[in-house]
Amino acid sequence: MLVEPVSLDDSKRLVAEVEEAFVKRAPLAIRGGNSKAFLGRAVQGATLDTRSHRGVVSYDPTELVITARAGTPVAELNAALDAGGQMLPCEPPAFDDTATVGGMVAAGLAGPRRPWAGAVRDFVLGCRVITGHAKHLRFGGEVMKNVAGYDVSRLLAGSFGCLGVITEVSLKVLPKPRAVGSVTLELDAGEALAELSAWRRAVLPVSGACYVDGRLHVRLEGGTGSVASALDRIGGDELEPGFWRDLREQRLAFFDDPRPLWRISLPNASPLLDLPGDTLLDWAGAQRWLKSDAPAATIRQIAHAAGGHATCFTPHGDAEPFTPLPPALLRFHRQLKQQLDPRGLFNPGRLYADL
């Protein structure tokens, strides 16, 4: 028996709870599915649960736009898009179907297709937000040409709820590719990076590239002819398409290691790094997952020297989860927080102790 998706506008309740917190100057810990509670600093405050505010508000496949409430499960959003032959290209994780649309935008995590398709923020057209003044405002629009407030909508991506309570999001979507193929090749890491650079110059339709356990895994998407031609050039063994889902959802054996998990973000075409632990290369090498007990300062120094930065995805002593900001940038963040959340109600300290 098919179960119809639940749709409920619970925004009045959310606004009322923020109004009460505003009057009492009481901090709030915003949560959806709580699927990314491991990322960021712990928040002390009353829980503001968005899951009851859910459902797809509108979806017109011909306009390539879908609008959904914050508590809508990402899996439900994907199912609606799949029925329309479309997808959210940034491929955000669903984390066992617990992740919500609001949390997806607030965390800004993207999957294997990120370097070729774009980040979560690139697909946010507009949103509705409850500000720290307990005002329910709309920013942006449902089409690219409507840019009023567009930057505010994008600022919310990756803000981890520190700037406001996302209640609704309009997202740009794209048709699914006509052809998809995945292969795996046995190479050493240096050879894998060299091949990826060559395929980039040849403009092959790569949409996923991961190196782990001595093998390079490659996904190609696009027109039937271009994918077939690229597969013929690359060679290798056929790879089950479920690999990319398991990579996105952090279900590969690599992630079972009990050591702390780090994400090293690097410029494109970065060379191999001498990282202290076991690594998995994603995004054609621009994202490197590291399992390591090494001190945070050591890992961050290596990442910084390579022009990147490091984020700790699991608790690691007293280490800050996110790379500490330089004073000038921290001052800008504080000013932005002051404008949107003057009483510091939303997820205080989630990103940094001073926010």
For 294-309, what is the mean pLDDT?
Answer: 96
Please provide the average confidence, as pLDDT, over all residues in the chain.
94
Rounded Cα distance, 168 and 297, in Å: 38
* In the predicted structure, residue 141 carries a pLDDT above the cut 80: no
Provide, rounded to the nearest whole percent, the portion of the chain with pLDDT above 70. 96
Confidence at residue 149, expressed as pLDDT on a 0 to 100 scale = 41
- Strand duo 65-69 + 165-172: pairing: antiparallel
* 6 confidence band (pLDDT: 50, 70, 90): confident
Rounded Cα distance, 241 and 50, in Å: 33
Confidence at residue 148, expressed as pLDDT on a 0 to 100 scale = 41
pLDDT digits (tens, 9 = 90+) for 48-69: 999 999 999 999 899 999 999 9
Other CB atoms within a 10 A radius of the CB of residue 298 amount to 13
pLDDT digits (tens, 9 = 90+) for 320-350: 999 999 999 999 999 999 999 999 999 999 9
* 147 confidence band (pLDDT: 50, 70, 90): very low
- Strand duo 124-130 + 261-265: pairing: unpaired
Rounded Cα distance, 84 and 52, in Å: 25
- CA 146 to chain CA centroid, Å, is 24
Confidence at residue 140, expressed as pLDDT on a 0 to 100 scale = 79
For 195-213, what is the mean pLDDT?
Answer: 97
* 310 confidence band (pLDDT: 50, 70, 90): very high
- Greatest distance between any 2 Cα atoms in the chain: 65
Higher-confidence residue of 1 and 192: namely 192
For 141-163, what is the mean pLDDT?
Answer: 70
* 318 confidence band (pLDDT: 50, 70, 90): confident
